[in-house]
């Protein structure tokens, strides 16, 4: 499924249309057939991938236990334990990205994930890079070597390669704003 095309179609929908569709999707995700389908394909100890909508990114985790409506997992990256709905499990190894490289479309909230490297132009039109900390409706909170910045989407650009800031050495930060 091409998520970008779906989102482009949804932009034409009214707020009520989106709400009604959201209700139908919520009911569909909770159907017992979908839960059983995941339970049949997953085993305790198996490493799975799941999509976290709040951080807009995918994680690897080990299955620890089956619940009636939630799957118990332990994340591979930090060992933290979570209970996730079965519908979050990406069994088909589907590409979860919405952005398409090289399409020259502006970056949106759907293109970003927490922890992702991103570049931006500051008030003096200088290029900076940092790590996405928070995704807001109109702007993104980014942690850089010089502090935290709130940056409007129109000032963002993808970071492809190079010497970028990963945020690991940051101890104290100042708050900055762009646009």
pLDDT averaged per 10 residues, the chain (length 179): 82 93 91 92 96 90 94 95 95 77 72 91 88 92 93 88 52 45
96/77 Cα distance (integer angstroms): 19
Q: Give pLDDT, residue 99.
A: 60
Q: Give pLDDT, residue 175.
A: 47
Whole-prediction pTM: 0.68
Pick one of 1.25.40, 2.30.30, 3.90.930, 2.40.50 as the CATH number of 109-178: 2.30.30
Residue spans of the domains in the chain: they are: 3-88, 109-178
Q: Give pLDDT, residue 36.
A: 93
Alpha helices by DSSP H, listed for 30-172, are 32-41
């Amino acid at each position: 499924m091409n998520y970008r095309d779906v989102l482009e179609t949804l932009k034409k929908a009214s707020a009520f249309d989106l709400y009604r569709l959201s209700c139908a999707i919520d009911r569909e995700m909770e159907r017992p057939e979908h839960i059983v389908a995941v339970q049949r394909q997953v085993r305790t100890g198996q490493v799975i991938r799941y999509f976290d909508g709040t951080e807009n990114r995918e994680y690897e985790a080990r299955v620890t236990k089956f619940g009636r409506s939630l799957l118990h997992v332990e994340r591979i990256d930090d060992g933290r334990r979570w209970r996730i709905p079965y519908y979050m499990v990406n069994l088909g190894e589907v590409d979860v990205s919405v952005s398409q490289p090289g399409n020259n479309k502006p970056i949106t909230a759907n293109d970003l994930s927490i922890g992702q490297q991103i570049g931006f132009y500051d008030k003096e039109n200088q290029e900076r890079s940092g790590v996405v900390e928070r995704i807001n409706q109109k702007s993104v909170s980014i942690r850089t070597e010089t502090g935290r910045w709130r940056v409007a989407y129109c000032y963002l650009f993808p970071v492809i390669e190079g010497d970028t800031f990963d945020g690991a050495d940051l101890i104290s930060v100042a708050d900055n704003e762009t646009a």
